[in-house]
Structure 1
Amino acid sequence: MPLILNSTTIHTILTDPSHLPTFSHTLLTGLLTPSTSPHRTSTTTPHGTTTLFMPCTQRSTTSLKTVSLPLNSPPNATITLHSSHTGTLLAVLSGSEITAFRTALTSLLLVRARTQRGVRVRKVVIIGAGKQAEWVLRLLPWAAGCMAEELDVGIYTRSGSESVKARIKISGYRALERGELEREVKSAEALFCCTPSTEPVVPVEWVVEGEKRGRYVSLIGSYREDMVEVEPGLLVREGWSVCVDRKEACFVESGEVIKSGIAREQVEEVAEVVERVQREGELGVGDERWLGNVVFKCVGVAVMDLVVSEEIVRIAEETGVGEVIRNFE
């Protein structure tokens, strides 16, 4: 009997702070555990709508996320979970909220580990105002180890929409004007780029200003090889370290990684880095660099959807929410 979960139910589960430690552990463990994730495929209709298909199998579950990207409307996503042994349909979940949540949480795993090692994060700039940016905002206090009121967050959106600016101000944060962006980026301890941009959203000179004190740069909005959120040269700049969600995905899909020419051996996967940094005791040889200047790149991989969806289903079944389809064959 498959369980059907709509976006409202999923949002309620994801925004419950009591579940966050479990989701972060689940996501980290999922990224560290072997899985089979064929490269995503896509189709495009004559009207220009692209649909992505992202399959994954890990342990006893197989997932398939389908993402439709219409030209003039927001993307839509659906995630299905099946038994890897029998093929039985286990659950169908609305996927858009999950996609934004798992991407934002993955981008903050290392921030959390750095914070636990004494790296302070209080001044933050977020570029973008979509769901990814919203989830970074929600999860940032947890990652930074402080109350939301202790954070100085500026949000810049290139759309210039007054309604978006008003929404940002209502949330208690600052909506940045273009003229303020240089000063804010130069002084920020962390920069989160959440836009599907095909050109750098800020000059690299702003990003490297003050790099001696160590800063964290997250690139989670761009997901194709023609997209870049910072100048690719930042990834090969001396004194900077690079980690990604998955090497095999980023070396095919990330414009920043591909165009930088960075070697595979110079890049690590974020889950492995976080696992080492958050261990008790002294850091291992060479791992001190992950407390300094870091670029994190995420294009999004299917195992992230699988493990987060599994946890959502577990919580939903425990709390008795969602709709069960009986006699489904």
Structure 2
Amino acid sequence: MSLTVLSDDDIRNILESLTSSETEALADRMRGALREYSTGTQNIDVGSIHQPERTVVHSDATNATTLFMPSINEDGHAVKVVTLSGGNTAPDQPALRPTGSVTVFSPQGAPTGFLHAKTLTAFRTALASSCLLTKRQHVKTLTVFGSGLQAYWHVRLALLLRGEKVKQVYVINRQFSDSARDILAKFYAVDPETRRREGWADTRFSVLTPSYGEYERLTKEYVRAADVIYCCTPSHEPLFDPTILTNTNGRRKGRLIVAIGSYKPEMREIPREVLEQAIKVVVDTLDGAMKEAGEIIEADIQPNQMVELGELVMIRKAAEEEDSIVSMASPVSTLSSTADISSDLDKLDIKSGSSAMSSIYGRNSTEAGSFSNLEGASGTGPQSPKRSSSFTSLFSKQQHRRSSSQGSSKQRKQSQSQSQNEPDHLARWLTSGNVIYKSVGLGLMDLVVGNEIIRLAKEKGVGHHIENFS
């Protein structure tokens, strides 16, 4: 067994050279891991994924907080260790920039990789966000708050995966900084042939900071124009005026809003009013969002008002499989007009006793297996009382429809009608509706991406490889 040691430069060089197909393969691995994480079968003995809560250690002497984030999947184990400033840094005390590493182990426990965590963390967070981006119908205009690595990688993956559709990127930063100056240089430094191949050779970029006299007006304009909004700042207050999106003009179209910068209860990026209008808030981990996401806590978003990203991936995969089988029997349109999708879906009441997702599906929570039923337990192993796969009934119905779609003409028509009336609503929401995704991060993401980076490093001859380390 060899040990691969990768510096931040090594990892950056590997990730910057990824092709679209390699990125898609990485995204598939991430979707699969998140899907299994959200099924609830997190038993070490019989399940393939175990994601314990992270351990936090704080030093009063240095005001340094260290986070230990373990995870396990079928490919092995990993522990990410990150140190950063605590919450009570004195004004005269220098802040500690987050720094850390990811150690990867084989399923039998032998160490296989020691990786710098800086770029890896930014990339894996953006990769998870891209699970929602790839199906969006409109991605013409991206508006990004922040100019650090998270902002860069969210935009870079959008260009890599959807570059032919992205025409404008607005970067908004609350101060003029080196990162604000350098982020555009990073995009323009990409080889012209690569930009042409990925389809964004003519994409326009601009940076806005308060030093510009029209900052407030242009911030409103850029937020309103956005098809996708990335919030990538450690902010303690909302990044924009909520009325930009909640008034009549703001609600004329659907947007994907991704918030990954705030990671403490006292931090927030998305205005409360925007969250309160959401049908469902998509999160990477329900438990983590309830404890760490300041926006979720402030808006008092309850478990039945959230859905994990892995659950949406799971439902969408099943719907796509069903659509494929139905179309083989008799081609039908699976995506109807989305002109009024935002207004139609936003009228659903997420605070009512019924499941909002059940309303999207057009049936009651008992029939649907209920997105709102996130407090039960499934599987045989220990897990959070707030998490449940809660899709047994749904999958049973989908399997039944798949079987019937191969039967008589009448049965096929019934199946097609059900396919249009149920998965189509979810598809419309995910592709064209107002979707908010809040991520606080999972060690599992580091494990998945870490293993793939080690594999790519060996293929490309990057880094240091110590043979027979174990």
Normalised TM-score (structure 1): 0.90
Question: Pick from 252, 263, 269: which aligns with 2:291?
Answer: 252
Q: How far apart in 2 are the matches of 1:57 and 1:211?
A: 42
Question: Pick from 26, 30, 36: which aligns with 1:27?
Answer: 30
Give how far 1:241 is off.
3.2
Deviates more, 1:191-200 or 1:104-113: 104-113
Aligned AA (1:213)? K
Aligned AA (1:241)? K
User: SS state of the match for residue 66, structure 1?
Assistant: strand
User: SS state of the match for residue 30, structure 1?
Assistant: helix
Q: Deviations over 1:67-99 (max 9, x none)?
A: 1114524211200011233x2111111111110
Equivalent residues in 2 for 1:21-60, closer than 5 Å: 21-34=24-37, 35-45=49-59, 46-60=61-75
Name 2:7's counterpart in structure 1.
6
Residues 65/168 of structure 1: CA separation in 2 closer, same or farther (3 Å cut) = closer
Q: How far apart in 1 are the matches of 2:157 and 2:57?
A: 33
Question: Pick from 229, 243, 252: which aligns with 1:205?
Answer: 243
Name 1:221's counterpart in structure 2.
261
Unaligned runs of 5+ in 1: none
Q: How far apart in 2 are the matches of 1:9 and 1:276?
A: 36
Deviates more, 1:319-328 or 1:180-189: 319-328
User: SS state of the match for residue 171, structure 2?
Assistant: strand
Task: Please tell me whether the aligned partners of residues 63 and 80 of structure 1 are also in contact (alpha carbons under 8 angstroms).
Answer: yes
Q: How far apart in 2 are the matches of 1:67 and 1:168?
A: 24
Unaligned runs of 5+ in 2: 38-48, 86-93, 189-204, 324-333, 335-421
Name 1:63's counterpart in structure 2.
78
Name 1:292's counterpart in structure 2.
433
Q: Deviations over 1:277-309 (max 9, x none)?
A: 462633616413223001100000010000000
Name 1:156's counterpart in structure 2.
172
| 1:321 and 2:462 matched | yes
Normalised TM-score (structure 2): 0.64
Q: How far apart in 1 are the matches of 2:77 and 2:265?
A: 27
Task: Please tell me whether the aligned partners of residues 3 and 325 of structure 1 are also in contact (alpha carbons under 8 angstroms).
Answer: yes
Greater share of residues in strand: 1
Give how far 1:275 is off.
4.5
Q: How far apart in 2 are the matches of 1:217 and 1:65?
A: 27
User: SS state of the match for residue 212, structure 1?
Assistant: coil
Task: Please tell me whether the aligned partners of residues 146 and 232 of structure 2 are also in contact (alpha carbons under 8 angstroms).
Answer: yes
Name 2:117's counterpart in structure 1.
95
Task: Provide the alpha-carbon RMSD of the alignment.
Answer: 2.0
Determine what percentage of the aligned residue pairs are the same residue. Answer: 31
For these two proteins, the number of residue pairs brought into alignment is 320
Q: How far apart in 1 are the matches of 2:167 and 2:24?
A: 21
Residues 243/213 of structure 1: CA separation in 2 closer, same or farther (3 Å cut) = same
Question: Pick from 111, 115, 127: which aligns with 1:105?
Answer: 127
Give how far 1:216 is off.
1.1
User: SS state of the match for residue 52, structure 2?
Assistant: coil
User: SS state of the match for residue 262, structure 2?
Assistant: coil
Give how far 1:268 is off.
1.1
Question: Pick from 304, 318, 321: which aligns with 2:445?
Answer: 304
Q: Deviations over 1:84-121 (max 9, x none)?
A: 33x2111111111110001112112211122xxxx111
Aligned AA (1:271)? G
Question: Pick from 83, 94, 114: which aligns with 2:106?
Answer: 83
